[in-house]
C-alpha cells in the first residue's frame, strides 16, 4: 500500500501537508530565497508548480510552522516563524478580456481582501487601493507585509497571437499593470514590505516591476534555483520509489524500464548554464497515477496563440533542434517584437540542451513535448485538408523501419495532395521541407534537420537503432540531383563505422504539382 497520495492539480500547500499527499521537499531553496533577498521574479512554463510555490511562501510568512515539520527549513533553517500579513494576487482568477475588465477585476479583488481584513479602501483606483491595502495591513498588524503575485502576465499572454486587436489589448493591459506594480517601489510602501515574489511565464519588458524596480532579482536562470520547481532524477528515484514499484507491477515491466521511459517522456527541462535537468511535475504525477505514459502536460492546454504566431512568422521549424542563441534571448519578452525562440523557451516547448562559450544550444526537452508539438504544427499546416489522410503520418516511422518505401512515399504523397490549394499556393521549397520534417518527426522517428558536416549541411537524417536515412531535398530538379549531392559531399561517411545500414534518399518536389514528383533510395 502506497503511503502518500499524488497531489495532482493540488496547489494549496496546507492541503498537501494536512491530507497526506506527497511533497518533494524544496524548502532548502526557499529558505535561501527568503533569507538572502526581498524582491524576486521567477518565470517557468505553465503547470510547473508556480502556484504551489506561492502557497508555500504564503504559509511560511504566515508563520505556520506546523505545516513544515519534517522538512529541511524546520529541521535545519534559522527561520523565525514570525507571522506577517500576506497579500496573494493570482491573475489566473482576475479576468482581463478588456482593459476595463482587468481594471475592475483588480478593484474587486483588492476590495475582497480588504474586507476580509477589516480595512476600508477609500478609492476605486487600483494602484491607490493597492497602496492603501499594504499601508492598512502594516498599521493594523505592526508587521511588514509579504506580497505574492502569481501569473502576473496571464492577462498579457491571453491576447498574444490574436492579431492587431489582441496586441493593442495586451499593450493596454500592460499599462494598467505597469501603474499597479509601480506601487511596490513607492518610497512610502517599500519600508512596509518584507518580501515580494512574482511568478509568470515570461519576463515582459516595459512593465514597471522590471523596468523601474531595479532591485528585483530575476532567478529564472539562476543555477541555485534551477530545480526549485520540477523534479530531479534523484528526487524521482527517491521520493517516488513506491509509485515506481507499483507502476512496474501494474504493467509488468522492470523498475528500470519505468525510470527510463519516465525520463524519455518527461525529463529534460534545463533553466541555467549549469546542467541541472528537471521533470515536468504535472506529467510525471499523472503518469505514476494512471500507470501510463501519455502527453498529459500538452493535453492540458493547446498553445493556439503560439501556433498562430509561428505560422505568421513562417518560422523554420526544422531548425529548432540545435538552434543557437545568445543569453539576451532569455532576458525580456516584448509584446511589439515577439521572438519565436524566446516564446518557445519561456512557454516550455524548447529548453537548453547545452551551453558552449556563452552560446545556448536549444532543443525539445523530451518526447512528450516534441511529438505532440510537432503533431499540432503538422495539423495546423494542413488545416482544412482531409483529416483521415493527414492522420496517416503516424505510420511513416514504421514504414521506414520496415524499409517499405512504396508505402512510405504513397502516404507522404497522399498527405501533400490533401492539403488545400490556398495553403500550398503560398508555400515554397521551405514549406515542402518543413512539412516533410513534421510528418517524420511527429510519427515518432528520430529526425534531425540541417545536420552540419565539414562539407555542408544534410537536409534531414532519420535515425533508427539499426539504420539511418540520409535525405536530400530538391525543388523542380530531380531525385538523381539530390542523390548526387549526398554522394559528392560525402554525407554518409560519418556512419561508415557505425554498424548501421545506411540509405541515401533523394526527393524532388514539384511546385507545379504541389507534391513529390520523384524519389530515389539507394542502400
126 shares a domain with 193: yes
Is there a single domain that holds both residue 126 and residue 169? yes
On whether residue 3 sits in a domain, the answer given is no
Model pLDDT for residues 355-377, shown as the tens digit of each residue: 998 899 999 999 999 988 888 88
158 plus 271 within the same structural domain:
no
Do 139 and 254 reside in the same domain of the chain?
Answer: no
Asked whether residue 91 falls in the same domain as residue 208, the answer is yes
Inside any domain, residue 247: yes
Q: How many domains would you assign to the chain?
A: 4
**Domain boundary residue, one of 225, 252, 284:** 225
- 365 and 470 belong to one structural domain: no
pLDDT at 219 over 90: yes
440 in the same domain as 342: no
Q: Which of 24-28, 302-306, 330-334, 425-429 has the highest mean pLDDT?
A: 24-28
Write the pLDDT tens digit of every residue in 256-271: 999 999 999 999 999 9
One DSSP character per residue, 282-319 reads HHHHHHHHHTS---HHHHT---HHHHHHHHHTT--GGG
Q: Which of 225, 257, 287 is the last residue of a domain?
A: 225
Same domain flag for 240 and 213 = no
Domain-ending residue, one of 353, 381, 409 = 381
Residue 436 lies in a domain: yes
Residue 505 has pLDDT above 90, yes or no: yes
Question: Do 391 and 493 belong to one domain?
Answer: yes
d(CA 471, CA 462): 8
Q: How far is CA 245 from CA 24, 102, 265, in A?
A: 18, 48, 18
Based on the fold, state whether residues 322 and 289 are members of the same structural domain. no
In a domain? residue 4: no
For residue 6, tell me if it sits in a domain.
Answer: no
Burial of 234 (0-12, 13-18, 19+ CB in 10 A): exposed
What residues make up the domain containing 405?
387-523
Please, how many CA atoms are within 13 Å of residue 17, restricted to the half-sphere of its CB? 16
- Is 70 exceeded by the pLDDT of residue 314? no
Strand partners, 448: 461
On the question of pLDDT at 380 being above 80, the answer is no
Let me know whether 35 and 167 are in one domain.
yes
- The confidence score (pLDDT) of residue 320 equals 81
Q: Does residue 443 fall inside a structural domain?
A: yes
- The span from the CA of 17 to the CA of 111, in Å, is 30
pLDDT at 210: 67
Examine residue 33 and state whether it is found in any structural domain, yes or no.
yes
Q: What is the pLDDT of residue 298?
A: 83
Phi and psi at residue 308, in whole multiples of 5°? -60, -45
115 and 259 inside one domain: no
> Mean pLDDT score of the chain, rounded to an integer?
90
2 inside domain: no
Contact 87, 54 (CB under 8 A): no
Angle of helix 241-251 versus helix 255-266 axis, rounded to 10: 110
How far from each other are the two terminal CA atoms of the chain, in whole angstroms? 54
Amino acid at each position: 500500500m502506497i503511503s502518500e497520495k499524488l497531489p495532482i492539480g493540488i496547489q494549496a500547500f496546507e492541503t498537501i501537508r494536512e491530507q497526506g499527499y506527497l511533497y518533494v521537499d524544496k524548502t532548502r531553496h526557499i529558505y535561501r530565497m527568503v533569507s538572502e533577498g526581498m524582491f524576486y521574479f521567477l518565470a517557468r512554463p505553465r503547470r510547473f508548480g508556480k502556484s504551489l510555490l506561492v502557497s508555500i511562501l504564503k504559509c511560511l510568512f504566515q508563520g505556520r510552522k506546523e505545516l513544515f515539520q519534517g522538512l529541511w527549513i524546520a529541521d535545519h533553517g534559522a527561520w523565525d516563524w514570525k507571522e506577517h500579513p500576506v497579500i496573494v494576487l493570482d491573475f489566473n482568477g482576475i479576468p482581463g478580456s478588456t482593459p476595463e475588465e482587468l481594471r475592475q477585476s483588480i478593484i474587486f479583488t483588492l476590495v475582497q481582501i480588504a474586507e476580509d481584513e477589516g480595512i476600508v479602501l477609500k478609492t476605486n483606483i487600483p494602484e491607490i487601493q493597492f497602496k492603501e491595502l499594504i499601508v492598512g495591513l502594516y498599521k493594523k498588524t505592526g508587521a511588514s507585509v509579504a506580497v505574492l503575485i502569481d501569473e502576473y502576465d496571464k492577462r498579457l499572454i491571453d491576447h498574444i497571437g490574436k492579431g492587431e486587436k489582441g496586441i493593442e489589448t495586451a499593450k493596454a493591459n500592460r499599462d494598467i499593470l505597469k501603474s499597479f506594480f509601480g506601487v511596490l517601489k513607492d518610497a512610502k510602501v517599500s519600508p512596509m514590505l518584507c518580501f515580494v515574489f512574482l511568478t509568470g511565464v515570461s519576463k515582459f519588458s516595459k512593465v514597471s516591476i522590471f523596468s523601474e524596480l531595479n532591485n528585483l532579482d530575476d532567478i529564472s536562470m539562476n543555477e541555485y534555483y534551477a530545480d526549485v520547481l520540477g523534479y530531479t532524477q534523484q528526487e524521482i528515484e527517491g521520493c517516488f520509489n513506491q509509485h515506481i514499484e507499483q507502476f512496474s507491477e501494474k504493467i509488468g515491466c522492470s523498475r528500470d524500464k519505468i525510470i527510463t521511459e519516465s525520463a524519455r517522456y518527461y525529463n529534460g527541462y534545463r533553466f541555467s548554464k549549469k546542467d541541472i535537468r528537471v521533470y515536468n511535475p504535472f506529467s510525471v504525477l499523472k503518469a505514476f497515477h494512471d500507470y501510463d505514459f501519455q502527453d498529459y502536460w500538452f493535453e492540458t492546454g493547446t498553445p493556439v496563440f503560439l501556433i498562430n504566431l509561428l505560422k505568421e512568422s513562417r518560422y523554420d521549424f526544422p531548425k529548432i533542434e540545435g538552434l543557437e542563441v545568445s543569453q539576451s534571448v532569455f532576458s525580456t519578452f516584448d509584446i511589439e517584437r515577439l521572438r519565436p525562440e524566446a516564446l518557445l523557451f519561456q512557454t516550455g516547448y524548447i529548453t537548453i540542451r547545452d551551453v558552449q562559450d556563452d552560446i545556448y544550444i536549444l532543443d525539445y526537452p523530451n518526447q512528450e513535448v516534441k511529438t505532440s508539438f510537432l503533431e499540432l504544427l503538422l495539423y495546423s499546416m494542413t488545416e482544412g485538408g482531409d483529416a483521415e489522410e493527414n492522420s496517416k503520418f503516424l505510420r511513416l516511422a514504421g514504414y521506414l523501419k520496415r524499409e517499405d518505401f512504396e508505402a512510405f512515399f504513397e502516404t507522404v504523397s497522399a498527405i501533400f495532395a490533401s492539403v488545400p490549394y490556398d495553403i500550398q499556393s503560398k508555400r515554397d521549397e521551405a514549406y515542402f521541407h518543413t512539412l516533410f520534417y513534421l510528418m517524420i518527426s511527429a510519427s515518432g522517428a528520430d529526425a534531425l534537420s540541417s545536420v552540419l558536416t565539414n562539407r555542408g549541411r544534410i537536409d534531414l537524417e532519420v535515425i533508427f537503432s539499426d539504420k539511418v536515412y540520409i535525405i536530400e531535398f530538391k525543388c523542380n530538379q530531380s531525385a538523381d540531383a539530390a542523390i548526387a549531392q549526398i554522394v559528392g559531399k560525402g554525407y554518409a561517411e560519418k556512419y561508415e563505422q557505425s554498424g548501421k545500414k545506411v540509405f541515401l534518399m533523394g526527393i524532388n518536389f514539384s511546385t507545379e504539382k504541389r507534391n513529390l514528383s520523384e524519389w530515389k533510395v539507394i542502400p
